[in-house]
Structure 1
Amino acid sequence: MNTVDNVLELESLGNIQCFSEQNRNRLLVTMKERALPEGSHLFWEGDLADKLYYVKQGRIKLTKTTDEGKELILYMYHPGDLIGHADPFISSNHSYSAEVLESSVVGVIENKDLELLVCQHCDFAIDFMKWMGVHHRITQTKFRDLMMYGKPGALCSTLIRLGNTYGQELADGSTLINKKITHTDLSNMIGATRESVNRMLSDLRKKEAIEYAGGLIVIKDLSMLQEICHCELCPKEICRI
Protein backbone atom coordinates (compact mmCIF):
# COMPACT_ATOMS: atom_id res chain seq x y z
CA MET A 1 0.00 0.00 0.00
CA ASN A 2 1.57 3.31 -1.04
CA THR A 3 1.43 6.62 0.81
CA VAL A 4 -1.50 7.94 -1.24
CA ASP A 5 -3.51 4.78 -0.56
CA ASN A 6 -2.73 5.05 3.16
CA VAL A 7 -3.98 8.65 3.27
CA LEU A 8 -7.16 7.79 1.36
CA GLU A 9 -7.82 4.82 3.67
CA LEU A 10 -7.40 7.01 6.78
CA GLU A 11 -9.67 9.69 5.28
CA SER A 12 -12.34 7.05 4.67
CA LEU A 13 -12.31 6.31 8.43
CA GLY A 14 -12.36 10.00 9.36
CA ASN A 15 -15.20 11.08 11.61
CA ILE A 16 -16.18 13.84 9.18
CA GLN A 17 -17.79 11.03 7.18
CA CYS A 18 -20.75 11.56 9.53
CA PHE A 19 -21.53 14.63 7.42
CA SER A 20 -23.07 14.53 3.95
CA GLU A 21 -20.97 15.84 1.06
CA GLN A 22 -22.99 19.07 1.06
CA ASN A 23 -22.44 19.61 4.78
CA ARG A 24 -18.74 18.73 4.53
CA ASN A 25 -18.44 21.45 1.91
CA ARG A 26 -20.21 23.89 4.23
CA LEU A 27 -17.62 23.14 6.89
CA LEU A 28 -14.72 23.47 4.45
CA VAL A 29 -15.93 26.89 3.31
CA THR A 30 -16.27 28.06 6.92
CA MET A 31 -12.86 26.98 8.22
CA LYS A 32 -9.58 28.89 8.11
CA GLU A 33 -6.45 26.93 7.25
CA ARG A 34 -3.46 26.74 9.59
CA ALA A 35 -0.11 24.96 9.11
CA LEU A 36 1.52 23.37 12.17
CA PRO A 37 5.11 22.08 12.45
CA GLU A 38 5.98 18.74 14.01
CA GLY A 39 6.28 18.93 17.79
CA SER A 40 4.00 21.96 18.17
CA HIS A 41 0.65 21.97 19.96
CA LEU A 42 -2.77 22.68 18.52
CA PHE A 43 -3.98 23.49 22.03
CA TRP A 44 -3.04 22.80 25.64
CA GLU A 45 -4.98 21.36 28.52
CA GLY A 46 -6.83 24.26 30.15
CA ASP A 47 -7.11 26.38 26.98
CA LEU A 48 -10.55 27.73 26.10
CA ALA A 49 -12.45 25.20 23.95
CA ASP A 50 -13.97 27.68 21.49
CA LYS A 51 -13.04 26.01 18.19
CA LEU A 52 -13.20 22.76 16.27
CA TYR A 53 -10.30 21.61 14.10
CA TYR A 54 -10.39 19.56 10.91
CA VAL A 55 -7.25 17.59 10.04
CA LYS A 56 -6.44 18.07 6.36
CA GLN A 57 -2.91 16.67 6.51
CA GLY A 58 -0.68 15.03 9.13
CA ARG A 59 -1.31 13.37 12.49
CA ILE A 60 -2.27 14.80 15.87
CA LYS A 61 -2.49 13.02 19.21
CA LEU A 62 -4.62 14.00 22.19
CA THR A 63 -2.99 13.41 25.56
CA LYS A 64 -3.86 13.71 29.21
CA THR A 65 -1.14 14.24 31.81
CA THR A 66 -1.54 12.88 35.35
CA ASP A 67 -0.40 14.64 38.52
CA GLU A 68 2.66 12.35 38.51
CA GLY A 69 3.60 13.52 35.00
CA LYS A 70 2.52 10.30 33.25
CA GLU A 71 1.17 10.86 29.74
CA LEU A 72 -1.89 8.94 28.54
CA ILE A 73 -2.66 8.97 24.81
CA LEU A 74 -6.42 9.32 24.40
CA TYR A 75 -6.84 9.63 20.64
CA MET A 76 -4.82 9.72 17.42
CA TYR A 77 -6.33 11.91 14.72
CA HIS A 78 -5.65 11.65 10.98
CA PRO A 79 -6.76 13.35 7.75
CA GLY A 80 -10.55 13.43 7.66
CA ASP A 81 -10.99 13.84 11.42
CA LEU A 82 -12.76 16.64 13.25
CA ILE A 83 -11.17 17.44 16.63
CA GLY A 84 -12.73 19.23 19.57
CA HIS A 85 -15.20 19.05 22.44
CA ALA A 86 -18.43 17.29 21.56
CA ASP A 87 -20.32 20.05 23.39
CA PRO A 88 -18.92 23.13 21.60
CA PHE A 89 -21.77 25.46 22.50
CA ILE A 90 -21.06 25.27 26.23
CA SER A 91 -18.27 27.50 27.51
CA SER A 92 -15.56 25.11 28.70
CA ASN A 93 -11.84 24.44 28.68
CA HIS A 94 -9.91 21.64 27.05
CA SER A 95 -9.29 18.76 29.44
CA TYR A 96 -6.45 17.41 27.27
CA SER A 97 -3.64 18.65 25.01
CA ALA A 98 -3.26 18.17 21.25
CA GLU A 99 0.31 17.55 20.03
CA VAL A 100 1.32 17.57 16.36
CA LEU A 101 3.14 14.30 15.51
CA GLU A 102 4.13 15.30 11.98
CA SER A 103 3.84 18.48 9.92
CA SER A 104 0.11 19.08 9.65
CA VAL A 105 -2.48 21.32 8.06
CA VAL A 106 -5.75 21.89 9.91
CA GLY A 107 -8.90 23.86 9.25
CA VAL A 108 -10.04 25.99 12.19
CA ILE A 109 -13.79 26.39 12.76
CA GLU A 110 -14.94 29.02 15.24
CA ASN A 111 -17.82 27.99 17.50
CA LYS A 112 -19.82 31.06 16.44
CA ASP A 113 -19.58 29.98 12.78
CA LEU A 114 -20.49 26.40 13.70
CA GLU A 115 -23.52 27.59 15.65
CA LEU A 116 -24.65 29.62 12.63
CA LEU A 117 -24.48 26.52 10.42
CA VAL A 118 -26.53 24.54 12.95
CA CYS A 119 -29.17 27.30 13.11
CA GLN A 120 -29.40 27.79 9.34
CA HIS A 121 -29.42 24.18 8.14
CA CYS A 122 -31.43 21.50 9.93
CA ASP A 123 -29.71 18.72 7.95
CA PHE A 124 -26.34 20.03 9.16
CA ALA A 125 -27.61 19.93 12.76
CA ILE A 126 -28.59 16.26 12.30
CA ASP A 127 -25.16 15.39 10.86
CA PHE A 128 -23.49 17.25 13.70
CA MET A 129 -25.43 15.14 16.22
CA LYS A 130 -24.21 12.03 14.37
CA TRP A 131 -20.62 13.25 14.80
CA MET A 132 -21.24 13.81 18.51
CA GLY A 133 -22.64 10.28 18.78
CA VAL A 134 -19.59 8.72 17.09
CA HIS A 135 -17.29 10.79 19.32
CA HIS A 136 -19.04 9.47 22.44
CA ARG A 137 -19.05 5.86 21.20
CA ILE A 138 -15.30 5.92 20.57
CA THR A 139 -14.76 7.31 24.07
CA GLN A 140 -17.03 4.71 25.66
CA THR A 141 -15.39 1.75 23.90
CA LYS A 142 -11.90 2.97 24.83
CA PHE A 143 -12.87 3.27 28.49
CA ARG A 144 -14.34 -0.22 28.30
CA ASP A 145 -11.06 -1.56 26.89
CA LEU A 146 -8.96 0.14 29.57
CA MET A 147 -11.10 -0.76 32.58
CA MET A 148 -12.85 -4.10 32.12
CA TYR A 149 -10.30 -6.72 31.03
CA GLY A 150 -7.02 -5.65 32.58
CA LYS A 151 -3.85 -4.52 30.86
CA PRO A 152 -3.64 -7.58 28.54
CA GLY A 153 -7.16 -6.84 27.29
CA ALA A 154 -6.34 -3.16 26.85
CA LEU A 155 -3.15 -4.02 24.92
CA CYS A 156 -4.92 -6.50 22.62
CA SER A 157 -7.70 -4.02 21.94
CA THR A 158 -5.12 -1.34 21.13
CA LEU A 159 -3.35 -3.68 18.70
CA ILE A 160 -6.68 -4.38 16.98
CA ARG A 161 -7.39 -0.65 16.76
CA LEU A 162 -3.92 -0.05 15.30
CA GLY A 163 -4.57 -2.79 12.76
CA ASN A 164 -7.87 -1.20 11.76
CA THR A 165 -6.22 2.21 11.43
CA TYR A 166 -2.84 1.42 9.85
CA GLY A 167 -3.32 -2.20 8.81
CA GLN A 168 -1.99 -3.66 5.56
CA GLU A 169 -3.16 -7.18 4.72
CA LEU A 170 -0.35 -9.56 3.79
CA ALA A 171 -0.45 -12.55 1.47
CA ASP A 172 -0.71 -15.06 4.35
CA GLY A 173 -3.78 -13.30 5.79
CA SER A 174 -1.91 -11.56 8.61
CA THR A 175 -2.08 -7.79 9.13
CA LEU A 176 0.97 -5.53 9.12
CA ILE A 177 0.59 -2.40 11.31
CA ASN A 178 2.25 -0.11 8.79
CA LYS A 179 3.29 2.56 11.29
CA LYS A 180 6.21 2.56 13.70
CA ILE A 181 4.75 2.18 17.21
CA THR A 182 7.19 2.05 20.12
CA HIS A 183 6.64 0.17 23.36
CA THR A 184 6.54 3.56 25.08
CA ASP A 185 3.71 4.62 22.76
CA LEU A 186 1.78 1.46 23.62
CA SER A 187 2.35 1.96 27.35
CA ASN A 188 1.00 5.51 27.07
CA MET A 189 -2.05 4.27 25.17
CA ILE A 190 -3.10 1.81 27.86
CA GLY A 191 -1.76 3.45 31.02
CA ALA A 192 0.81 0.74 31.76
CA THR A 193 4.57 0.73 32.30
CA ARG A 194 6.85 0.06 29.34
CA GLU A 195 8.25 -3.00 31.15
CA SER A 196 4.80 -4.58 31.50
CA VAL A 197 4.06 -3.88 27.83
CA ASN A 198 7.34 -5.60 26.91
CA ARG A 199 6.30 -8.68 28.90
CA MET A 200 2.79 -8.81 27.41
CA LEU A 201 4.11 -8.43 23.85
CA SER A 202 6.64 -11.18 24.51
CA ASP A 203 3.83 -13.47 25.70
CA LEU A 204 1.79 -12.69 22.57
CA ARG A 205 4.81 -13.51 20.40
CA LYS A 206 5.29 -16.85 22.18
CA LYS A 207 1.61 -17.63 21.53
CA GLU A 208 2.18 -16.65 17.86
CA ALA A 209 -0.54 -14.01 18.02
CA ILE A 210 1.90 -11.35 16.78
CA GLU A 211 5.37 -11.08 15.33
CA TYR A 212 7.75 -8.33 14.20
CA ALA A 213 8.86 -7.56 10.65
CA GLY A 214 11.36 -4.78 10.09
CA GLY A 215 10.52 -3.22 13.44
CA LEU A 216 6.77 -3.20 12.67
CA ILE A 217 4.12 -5.29 14.43
CA VAL A 218 2.33 -8.00 12.46
CA ILE A 219 -0.95 -9.41 13.78
CA LYS A 220 -0.84 -13.15 13.06
CA ASP A 221 -3.86 -14.37 15.04
CA LEU A 222 -6.58 -11.71 15.21
CA SER A 223 -9.08 -14.09 16.81
CA MET A 224 -6.76 -14.63 19.79
CA LEU A 225 -6.48 -10.89 20.38
CA GLN A 226 -10.26 -10.56 20.08
CA GLU A 227 -10.77 -13.33 22.63
CA ILE A 228 -8.43 -11.75 25.17
CA CYS A 229 -10.12 -8.34 25.00
CA HIS A 230 -13.67 -9.78 24.63
CA CYS A 231 -14.01 -7.91 21.33
CA GLU A 232 -17.54 -6.70 20.52
CA LEU A 233 -16.77 -6.41 16.78
CA CYS A 234 -17.42 -2.68 16.56
CA PRO A 235 -17.21 -1.14 13.05
CA LYS A 236 -13.82 0.24 12.00
CA GLU A 237 -14.94 3.86 12.29
CA ILE A 238 -15.44 3.16 16.03
CA CYS A 239 -12.66 0.60 16.62
CA ARG A 240 -9.76 2.85 15.66
CA ILE A 241 -6.83 4.30 17.53
Structure 2
Amino acid sequence: MNNSLEHTQPRHNTACFSEINQERLLNHSTERTIAAGSHLFWEGDLSDKLYFLKSGRVKLTKSTDEGKELILYMYQAGDMIGQADPFSGTRLGFTAEALEDTEVAVIEHKELELMICQYCDFAIDFMKWMGTHHRLTQTKVRDLMLYGKPGALCSTLIRLSNTYGQDYNDQGSILINKKITHTDLSNMIGATRESVNRMLSDLRKKESIEYEHGMIIIHDLEALQEVCHCEMCPKEICRI
Protein backbone atom coordinates (compact mmCIF):
# COMPACT_ATOMS: atom_id res chain seq x y z
CA MET A 1 0.00 0.00 0.00
CA ASN A 2 1.17 3.46 -0.89
CA ASN A 3 2.13 5.80 1.93
CA SER A 4 2.74 8.84 -0.25
CA LEU A 5 1.20 12.09 0.97
CA GLU A 6 0.22 12.93 -2.59
CA HIS A 7 -3.35 11.68 -2.82
CA THR A 8 -4.48 12.34 -6.34
CA GLN A 9 -6.89 9.95 -8.01
CA PRO A 10 -5.23 6.57 -8.66
CA ARG A 11 -4.53 5.24 -12.10
CA HIS A 12 -7.54 3.47 -13.56
CA ASN A 13 -7.30 -0.26 -14.11
CA THR A 14 -7.09 0.34 -17.87
CA ALA A 15 -3.95 2.46 -17.52
CA CYS A 16 -1.98 -0.55 -18.78
CA PHE A 17 -3.61 -0.09 -22.21
CA SER A 18 -1.89 2.28 -24.60
CA GLU A 19 -3.96 5.13 -26.01
CA ILE A 20 -4.36 3.37 -29.35
CA ASN A 21 -5.49 0.15 -27.66
CA GLN A 22 -8.04 2.00 -25.54
CA GLU A 23 -9.37 3.47 -28.80
CA ARG A 24 -9.57 -0.03 -30.25
CA LEU A 25 -11.61 -1.17 -27.25
CA LEU A 26 -14.06 1.70 -27.62
CA ASN A 27 -14.28 1.36 -31.41
CA HIS A 28 -15.37 -2.27 -30.96
CA SER A 29 -18.02 -1.48 -28.35
CA THR A 30 -21.62 -0.39 -28.05
CA GLU A 31 -22.80 2.21 -25.53
CA ARG A 32 -25.34 1.73 -22.74
CA THR A 33 -26.67 4.00 -20.01
CA ILE A 34 -27.42 2.49 -16.58
CA ALA A 35 -29.56 4.39 -14.07
CA ALA A 36 -28.40 4.68 -10.46
CA GLY A 37 -29.56 1.63 -8.50
CA SER A 38 -29.94 -0.50 -11.64
CA HIS A 39 -27.83 -3.55 -12.40
CA LEU A 40 -25.30 -3.92 -15.16
CA PHE A 41 -25.40 -7.69 -14.75
CA TRP A 42 -26.34 -10.31 -12.17
CA GLU A 43 -24.45 -13.18 -10.60
CA GLY A 44 -25.14 -16.23 -12.77
CA ASP A 45 -25.48 -14.30 -16.05
CA LEU A 46 -23.49 -15.56 -19.01
CA SER A 47 -19.94 -14.18 -19.01
CA ASP A 48 -19.68 -12.92 -22.60
CA LYS A 49 -18.94 -9.19 -22.26
CA LEU A 50 -16.60 -6.63 -20.71
CA TYR A 51 -17.72 -3.16 -19.64
CA PHE A 52 -15.65 0.02 -19.89
CA LEU A 53 -16.97 2.77 -17.57
CA LYS A 54 -17.11 6.12 -19.38
CA SER A 55 -18.80 7.87 -16.43
CA GLY A 56 -20.35 7.03 -13.07
CA ARG A 57 -19.51 4.43 -10.41
CA VAL A 58 -20.29 0.72 -10.07
CA LYS A 59 -19.91 -1.75 -7.21
CA LEU A 60 -19.35 -5.48 -7.62
CA THR A 61 -20.93 -7.67 -4.96
CA LYS A 62 -21.19 -11.32 -3.99
CA SER A 63 -24.23 -12.63 -2.11
CA THR A 64 -24.29 -15.49 0.39
CA ASP A 65 -27.07 -18.06 0.73
CA GLU A 66 -28.26 -16.09 3.78
CA GLY A 67 -28.63 -12.95 1.66
CA LYS A 68 -25.63 -11.08 3.06
CA GLU A 69 -23.82 -8.87 0.57
CA LEU A 70 -20.04 -8.65 0.32
CA ILE A 71 -18.66 -5.73 -1.67
CA LEU A 72 -15.74 -7.03 -3.76
CA TYR A 73 -14.77 -3.95 -5.78
CA MET A 74 -15.87 -0.38 -6.49
CA TYR A 75 -15.16 0.99 -9.96
CA GLN A 76 -15.18 4.49 -11.43
CA ALA A 77 -14.88 6.14 -14.83
CA GLY A 78 -11.91 4.77 -16.77
CA ASP A 79 -12.12 1.27 -15.25
CA MET A 80 -13.06 -1.90 -17.09
CA ILE A 81 -15.30 -4.52 -15.47
CA GLY A 82 -15.95 -8.12 -16.35
CA GLN A 83 -14.90 -11.72 -16.12
CA ALA A 84 -12.57 -12.74 -18.92
CA ASP A 85 -11.36 -16.33 -18.96
CA PRO A 86 -10.41 -18.86 -21.64
CA PHE A 87 -13.54 -20.97 -21.16
CA SER A 88 -16.70 -20.34 -23.14
CA GLY A 89 -20.11 -20.55 -21.57
CA THR A 90 -18.98 -19.61 -18.05
CA ARG A 91 -21.26 -17.73 -15.65
CA LEU A 92 -20.50 -14.53 -13.77
CA GLY A 93 -19.63 -14.97 -10.11
CA PHE A 94 -20.73 -11.51 -8.98
CA THR A 95 -23.32 -8.76 -9.46
CA ALA A 96 -22.65 -5.22 -10.73
CA GLU A 97 -24.84 -2.35 -9.49
CA ALA A 98 -24.62 1.29 -10.60
CA LEU A 99 -24.11 3.68 -7.67
CA GLU A 100 -24.70 6.69 -9.93
CA ASP A 101 -26.11 7.22 -13.41
CA THR A 102 -23.46 5.40 -15.41
CA GLU A 103 -22.44 5.27 -19.06
CA VAL A 104 -20.63 2.14 -20.22
CA ALA A 105 -19.07 0.84 -23.41
CA VAL A 106 -19.92 -2.86 -23.85
CA ILE A 107 -17.29 -5.08 -25.52
CA GLU A 108 -18.41 -8.54 -26.62
CA HIS A 109 -15.95 -11.37 -25.95
CA LYS A 110 -15.95 -12.29 -29.66
CA GLU A 111 -14.77 -8.74 -30.49
CA LEU A 112 -12.15 -8.99 -27.76
CA GLU A 113 -10.84 -12.26 -29.20
CA LEU A 114 -10.55 -10.69 -32.66
CA MET A 115 -8.48 -7.80 -31.27
CA ILE A 116 -6.22 -10.20 -29.37
CA CYS A 117 -5.66 -12.17 -32.59
CA GLN A 118 -5.09 -9.09 -34.76
CA TYR A 119 -2.89 -6.93 -32.54
CA CYS A 120 -0.06 -8.47 -30.50
CA ASP A 121 0.43 -5.22 -28.54
CA PHE A 122 -3.25 -5.30 -27.54
CA ALA A 123 -2.85 -8.90 -26.34
CA ILE A 124 0.08 -7.87 -24.13
CA ASP A 125 -1.88 -4.93 -22.67
CA PHE A 126 -4.85 -7.21 -22.01
CA MET A 127 -2.60 -9.69 -20.16
CA LYS A 128 -1.35 -6.80 -18.00
CA TRP A 129 -4.95 -5.84 -17.21
CA MET A 130 -5.78 -9.40 -16.15
CA GLY A 131 -2.59 -9.59 -14.06
CA THR A 132 -3.47 -6.35 -12.25
CA HIS A 133 -6.91 -7.76 -11.44
CA HIS A 134 -5.42 -10.97 -10.05
CA ARG A 135 -2.99 -9.03 -7.83
CA LEU A 136 -5.79 -6.83 -6.53
CA THR A 137 -7.82 -9.90 -5.61
CA GLN A 138 -4.82 -11.60 -3.95
CA THR A 139 -4.02 -8.59 -1.78
CA LYS A 140 -7.65 -8.27 -0.64
CA VAL A 141 -7.75 -11.95 0.31
CA ARG A 142 -4.48 -11.50 2.21
CA ASP A 143 -5.89 -8.56 4.15
CA LEU A 144 -9.05 -10.46 5.08
CA MET A 145 -7.35 -13.74 6.00
CA LEU A 146 -4.10 -12.84 7.75
CA TYR A 147 -4.71 -9.86 10.03
CA GLY A 148 -8.27 -10.25 11.25
CA LYS A 149 -11.10 -7.75 11.01
CA PRO A 150 -9.02 -4.80 12.37
CA GLY A 151 -6.41 -5.42 9.67
CA ALA A 152 -9.09 -5.74 7.00
CA LEU A 153 -10.75 -2.51 8.15
CA CYS A 154 -7.49 -0.52 8.22
CA SER A 155 -6.55 -1.91 4.82
CA THR A 156 -9.96 -0.87 3.46
CA LEU A 157 -9.56 2.67 4.83
CA ILE A 158 -6.16 2.93 3.14
CA ARG A 159 -7.64 1.65 -0.13
CA LEU A 160 -10.45 4.19 0.13
CA SER A 161 -7.91 6.96 0.71
CA ASN A 162 -6.00 5.92 -2.42
CA THR A 163 -9.24 5.81 -4.44
CA TYR A 164 -11.11 8.87 -3.16
CA GLY A 165 -8.54 10.64 -0.96
CA GLN A 166 -7.76 14.35 -1.02
CA ASP A 167 -5.15 16.29 0.94
CA TYR A 168 -6.95 17.75 3.95
CA ASN A 169 -4.34 19.94 5.63
CA ASP A 170 -0.60 20.56 5.72
CA GLN A 171 -0.17 17.91 8.44
CA GLY A 172 -0.68 15.13 5.90
CA SER A 173 -4.28 14.26 6.82
CA ILE A 174 -6.39 12.70 4.08
CA LEU A 175 -10.09 13.28 3.45
CA ILE A 176 -11.98 10.34 1.89
CA ASN A 177 -14.20 12.41 -0.37
CA LYS A 178 -17.11 9.94 -0.53
CA LYS A 179 -19.65 9.17 2.16
CA ILE A 180 -19.00 5.58 3.21
CA THR A 181 -21.47 4.19 5.73
CA HIS A 182 -20.66 1.71 8.48
CA THR A 183 -22.85 -0.77 6.62
CA ASP A 184 -20.72 -0.27 3.48
CA LEU A 185 -17.55 -0.91 5.48
CA SER A 186 -19.02 -4.02 7.10
CA ASN A 187 -19.96 -5.36 3.64
CA MET A 188 -16.44 -4.66 2.36
CA ILE A 189 -14.71 -6.74 5.05
CA GLY A 190 -17.36 -9.36 5.85
CA ALA A 191 -17.93 -8.15 9.42
CA THR A 192 -21.00 -7.12 11.37
CA ARG A 193 -21.97 -3.47 11.53
CA GLU A 194 -21.58 -3.54 15.31
CA SER A 195 -17.99 -4.76 15.16
CA VAL A 196 -17.15 -2.11 12.57
CA ASN A 197 -18.64 0.53 14.87
CA ARG A 198 -16.40 -0.66 17.72
CA MET A 199 -13.25 -0.73 15.59
CA LEU A 200 -13.91 2.74 14.17
CA SER A 201 -14.55 4.03 17.69
CA ASP A 202 -11.16 2.64 18.79
CA LEU A 203 -9.43 4.35 15.85
CA ARG A 204 -11.13 7.64 16.71
CA LYS A 205 -10.03 7.37 20.36
CA LYS A 206 -6.46 6.89 19.15
CA GLU A 207 -6.95 9.96 16.90
CA SER A 208 -6.03 7.93 13.84
CA ILE A 209 -9.26 9.00 12.14
CA GLU A 210 -12.18 11.35 12.63
CA TYR A 211 -15.47 12.16 10.93
CA GLU A 212 -16.49 15.46 9.36
CA HIS A 213 -19.88 15.92 7.68
CA GLY A 214 -20.22 12.14 7.38
CA MET A 215 -16.85 11.71 5.67
CA ILE A 216 -13.78 9.99 7.11
CA ILE A 217 -10.53 11.89 7.66
CA ILE A 218 -7.36 9.85 8.18
CA HIS A 219 -4.92 11.65 10.49
CA ASP A 220 -2.43 8.84 11.10
CA LEU A 221 -1.92 6.76 7.98
CA GLU A 222 1.12 5.00 9.45
CA ALA A 223 -0.93 3.70 12.39
CA LEU A 224 -3.37 2.08 9.94
CA GLN A 225 -0.49 0.62 7.96
CA GLU A 226 0.96 -0.97 11.10
CA VAL A 227 -2.31 -2.73 11.91
CA CYS A 228 -2.65 -4.29 8.45
CA HIS A 229 1.11 -4.91 7.97
CA CYS A 230 1.12 -2.73 4.86
CA GLU A 231 3.31 -4.02 2.00
CA MET A 232 3.39 -0.68 0.14
CA CYS A 233 1.64 -1.94 -2.98
CA PRO A 234 1.30 0.49 -5.92
CA LYS A 235 -1.93 2.50 -6.08
CA GLU A 236 -3.35 0.57 -9.03
CA ILE A 237 -3.32 -2.45 -6.67
CA CYS A 238 -4.07 -0.68 -3.37
CA ARG A 239 -7.55 0.57 -4.29
CA ILE A 240 -11.04 -0.29 -3.26
**Class of the TM-score when normalised by the shorter of the 2 chains:** over 0.9
The verdict on how the C-alpha distance between 1:135 and 1:191 changes in structure 2, with shifts beyond 3 A counting, is same
Contact kept, 8 Å, 2:47 with 2:84, in 1: the verdict is: no
CA distance in structure 2 between the aligned counterparts of 1:176 and 1:223, rounded to whole angstroms: 15
Q: Which consecutive unaligned segments of at least 5 residues does structure 2 have?
A: 1-7
CA distance in structure 2 between the aligned counterparts of 1:86 and 1:72, rounded to whole angstroms: 21
- What displacement does 1:214 show? 1.4
What's 1:154 paired with? 152
What's 2:165 paired with? 167
RMSD (Å), alpha carbons: 1.0
CA distance in structure 2 between the aligned counterparts of 1:105 and 1:89, rounded to whole angstroms: 28
- What displacement does 1:86 show? 3.4
Q: Deviations over 1:39-68 (max 9, x none)?
A: 100000000000000000000000000011
Q: Which consecutive unaligned segments of at least 5 residues does structure 1 have?
A: 1-8
What's 1:190 paired with? 189
Contact kept, 8 Å, 1:88 with 1:111, in 2: the verdict is: no
Deviation above 2 Å: which 4+ runs of structure 1? 88-91
Q: Deviations over 1:195-215 (max 9, x none)?
A: 000000000000111011111
- What displacement does 1:88 show? 5.7
What's 2:204 paired with? 205
Contact kept, 8 Å, 1:89 with 1:115, in 2: the verdict is: no
What's 2:217 paired with? 218
One-letter amino acid of the structure 2 residue matched with residue 170 of structure 1? Y
CA distance in structure 2 between the aligned counterparts of 1:88 and 1:181, rounded to whole angstroms: 36
Aligned length: 232
CA distance in structure 2 between the aligned counterparts of 1:143 and 1:236, rounded to whole angstroms: 17
CA distance in structure 2 between the aligned counterparts of 1:128 and 1:90, rounded to whole angstroms: 18
Q: Deviations over 1:76-126 (max 9, x none)?
A: 010110101131653310011001111000000000000000000000000
Contact kept, 8 Å, 1:49 with 1:88, in 2: the verdict is: no
CA distance in structure 1 between the aligned counterparts of 2:48 and 2:84, rounded to whole angstroms: 11
One-letter amino acid of the structure 1 residue matched with residue 130 of structure 2? M
TM-score (ref. length: structure 1)? 0.94
| SS in structure 2 of the partner of residue 154 of structure 1 | helix
- What displacement does 1:170 show? 1.6
